[in-house]
Amino acid sequence: MLKLYDLTGKDDLRFSPPCWNVKLCLIHKQISYKTIPVRFSEKHKIEFSKQDLVPILKYHNGFVCDSWNIINWLDENYDQNKLFVNEANKNFSYFLYLWTSRQLLPILFKIVAHEIPNILEGDDIDYYINSREKKIMGPITKFKENINIFIKEFRKLINPIRKIIEVNGFISGIEPGVEDYIFFGNFKWVDIVSSCQLLDTDDPIYKWYRNILERTDAQIN
């Protein structure tokens, strides 16, 4: 069985956006898998990968790192329920992957940064605070007073996706697909770690998120 190394916090709470993306792709392709929880302070568990980030997908004689690489590997090695139906579909998915990781997640981090310690425990709290404060060159609370500004910025930035969802129901069309799975992790992350209202309940993207959650939540481990 495939093993997915997955970031975990207090009470086995899973909260990594790219790990969620991979899980939805595994469910879509109906591939059995087992998750291996990895805390911030448990880097030894993934030493074999020669890097320190999850997700990592381990198979019988090797492993794959990074969610985009994993998604591609799944489609190349399992023929059922293809994620990529053509090159245009794959290219747009890659755009979403890059846009999400390089533009959307940095904004979302500013919104949730100060709340993440609440879902951690023990050494993970110190690890998170020290590593993130070094990266942002200040306290993790530095963005807190401007959260509403960041939320407005985020809502405006995702408006093109909102228009697609309004027309089709899903980013991929009338049924969810890999584009939806790549985009989903953003909202699952905020939903789990933050008390903020990222989207209004009448927002088409909110309804899209709830729809995918209802379809997959019982299958995700």
Average pLDDT over residues 4-25: 97
Token reading at 219: 């299958």
| pLDDT number for residue 220 | 73
Whether 141 and 114 have beta carbons less than 8 Å apart is answered as yes
> Could you tell me how far CA 28 lies from the centroid of its own chain?
16
pLDDT for residue 129 is more than 70: yes
Report helix, strand or coil for 74: helix
| pLDDT number for residue 50 | 96
| pLDDT number for residue 218 | 60
Question: In this predicted structure, which of 143-152, 184-193, 208-217 has the lowest mean pLDDT?
Answer: 208-217
> How does pLDDT run across 172-185, given as a tens digit for each residue?
999 999 999 999 99
| pLDDT number for residue 166 | 97
Domains in the chain: ranges and CATH? 2-77 (3.40.30.10), 87-219 (1.20.1050.10)
How far is residue 158's CA from residue 152's CA, in Å, rounded to a whole number? Answer: 10
* 29 against 216, higher pLDDT: 29
pLDDT above 70 covers a percentage of the chain that reads 99
pLDDT confidence of 115, banded at 50, 70, 90?
A: very high
Whether 65 and 19 have beta carbons less than 8 Å apart is answered as no
| pLDDT number for residue 96 | 97
- Cα-flanking dihedrals φ and ψ of residue 103, to 5°? -120, -45
> How does pLDDT run across 76-101, given as a tens digit for each residue?
999 999 999 999 999 999 999 999 99
If we measure between CA atoms, which residue out of 121, 18, 103 comes closest to residue 66?
A: 18
pLDDT for residue 217 is more than 80: no
